[in-house]
């Protein structure tokens, strides 16, 4: 007669004496149910700990953001930030911030430094939004297109031309800088693709090397006329003056300059001087690689006029010393380019 094996807790079984432990079905179901209950209790606990603001429906939370014009509201909690980070919410927020300015000056050209220029919109709200990385040029132009389409749709029907907006070509064309057109009904903005005007102007603005001879012959002070698409006190993000300069960051800076933005009082000449050094480096390996678009954007912002005279003199000397470092000697086009840069810096 065999003895009944006794299982000792914690002692390993050998070979055929291994005993399989089967969890009763009822206990397994009870275990799953208890886990589900714990999960539900945890969720209810988190919901009960949520603040009153976090419990507000998105539609109301959006309006709180728009009426308060407080860009720090999404930072009040991770949940609020997540609720307000939807693409449609961000787009409408940007439009709400800039629409007062756009409505007042739609399609108009004015003087960026005109002291009598009316002030529509909240510059702090606009400046705060422009600091965010998601307000890149693609997003900005998407908002502009959305705004123009909405405006065109709201125009009264029953007329031959319900939507009429001329594309004022302040900078001419990319292939012809002399083709500056301010009034011509043959250049109307397509409300479905209004942002195409921006890309046309950017291409014309950056086509400097292709027409360097023309720019040297016709050099004048920076044109103060711009579109008026930002509040005159809206601040340009400092990050746009910091290298490396991507085409996207240059386009965003051009959009602001094109829209009437100015350097703010706390953006000192030291900031723009460093931006100029980054755009016109003199040390290897980037010596001679000039970012002429940034140089001209600083000129259009009248940044060089705020430099002390001794700094202007030093930079002129530095520009011509860079030319002497070219081996072999610089081409005629490069010489003209550096002459044009020196003219912009000195203002004469």
| Residue range 148-153: mean pLDDT, rounded | 86
pLDDT band, residue 76 (cuts 50/70/90):
confident
Task: Report how far apart, in Å, the C-alpha atoms of 141 and of each of 135, 136, 163 are.
Answer: 10, 9, 19
Using the structure block, give the residue that is written with the tokens 């960051």.
249
Tokens standing for 323? 């030319």
Of the candidates 323, 272, 264, 332, the one whose C-alpha atom is nearest the C-alpha of residue 297 is: 272
Q: How far apart are CA 320 and CA 339, in angstroms?
A: 8
Q: How far apart are CA 212 and CA 210, in angstroms?
A: 6
Q: Is the pTM higher than 0.85?
A: no
Q: What is the pLDDT of residues 46-71, one digit of tens each?
A: 555 768 778 888 999 999 999 999 99
CB 230 within 8 A of CB 187: no
Q: How far apart are CA 276 and CA 177, in angstroms?
A: 24
Q: What is the dihedral of CA 248, 254, 255, 260, to 10 degrees?
A: 160
Q: Provide the pLDDT for residue 348.
A: 65
CB 255 within 8 A of CB 140: yes
Average pLDDT over the chain, rounded to whole?
Answer: 84
- Residue partners of 307: CB distance under 8 A and separation at least 6: 269, 272, 273, 315, 345
CB 145 within 8 A of CB 194: yes
Which residues, in sequence order, are bridge partners of residue 188?
166
End-to-end CA distance of the chain: 118
Q: Provide the pLDDT for residue 326.
A: 79
Q: What is the pLDDT of residues 270-310, one digit of tens each?
A: 999 999 999 998 875 566 689 999 999 999 999 999 999 99
Q: How far apart are CA 65 and CA 69, in angstroms?
A: 6
Which residues, in sequence order, are bridge partners of residue 176?
173
Q: How far apart are CA 34 and CA 106, in angstroms?
A: 63
Q: What is the pLDDT of residues 151-187, one digit of tens each?
A: 888 766 555 555 667 777 888 888 888 777 666 665 6
Q: How far apart are CA 76 and CA 61, in angstroms?
A: 12
DSSP assigned state of 235? B
Q: How far apart are CA 212 and CA 344, in angstroms?
A: 13
Q: What is the pLDDT of residues 210-259, one digit of tens each?
A: 888 888 888 888 877 888 899 989 999 999 999 899 999 999 999 999 99
CB 227 within 8 A of CB 198: no
Residue 3: exposure state from Cβ atoms within 10 A (0-12, 13-18, ≥19): exposed
Of the candidates 272, 267, 280, the one whose C-alpha atom is nearest the C-alpha of residue 316 is: 280
Using the CB atoms, write b or e for 123-157: b if 16+ within 10 Å.
bbbbbbbbeeeebebebbbebbbbbbeebbeeeee
């Amino acid at each position: 007669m065999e003895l009944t094996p006794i299982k000792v807790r914690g002692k390993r079984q050998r070979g055929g004496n291994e005993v399989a432990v089967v969890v009763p079905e009822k206990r397994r179901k009870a275990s799953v149910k208890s886990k589900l209950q714990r999960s539900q209790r945890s969720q209810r606990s988190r919901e009960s700990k949520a603040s009153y603001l976090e419990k507000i429906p998105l539609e109301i939370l959006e309006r709180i953001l728009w009426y308060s014009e407080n860009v720090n509201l999404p930072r009040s909690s991770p949940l609020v930030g997540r609720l307000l980070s939807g693409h449609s919410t961000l787009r409408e927020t940007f439009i709400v911030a800039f629409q007062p300015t756009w409505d007042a000056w739609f399609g108009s050209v004015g003087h960026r430094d005109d002291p009598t220029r009316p002030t529509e919109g909240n510059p702090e709200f606009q400046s705060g939004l422009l600091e965010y990385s998601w307000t890149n040029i693609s997003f900005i132009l998407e908002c502009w297109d959305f705004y123009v389409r909405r405006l065109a749709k709201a125009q009264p029907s029953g007329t031959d031309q319900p939507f009429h907006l001329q594309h004022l070509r302040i900078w001419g064309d990319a292939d012809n800088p002399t083709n500056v057109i301010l009034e011509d009904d043959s250049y109307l903005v397509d409300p479905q693709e209004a942002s195409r005007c921006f890309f046309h102007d950017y291409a014309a603005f950056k086509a400097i090397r292709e027409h360097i001879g023309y720019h040297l012959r016709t050099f004048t002070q920076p044109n103060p006329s711009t579109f008026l698409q930002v509040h005159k006190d809206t601040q340009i993000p400092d990050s746009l003056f910091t290298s490396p300069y991507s085409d996207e960051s240059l386009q965003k800076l051009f959009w602001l300059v094109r829209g009437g933005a100015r350097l703010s009082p706390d953006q000192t000449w030291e900031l723009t001087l460093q931006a100029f050094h980054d755009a016109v480096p003199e040390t290897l390996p980037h010596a001679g690689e000039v970012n002429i678009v940034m140089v001209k954007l600083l000129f259009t912002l009248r940044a060089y006029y705020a430099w002390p005279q001794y700094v202007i003199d030093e930079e002129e000397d530095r520009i011509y010393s860079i030319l002497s470092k070219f081996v072999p000697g610089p081409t005629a086009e490069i010489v003209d380019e550096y002459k044009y840069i020196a003219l912009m810096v000195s203002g004469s």
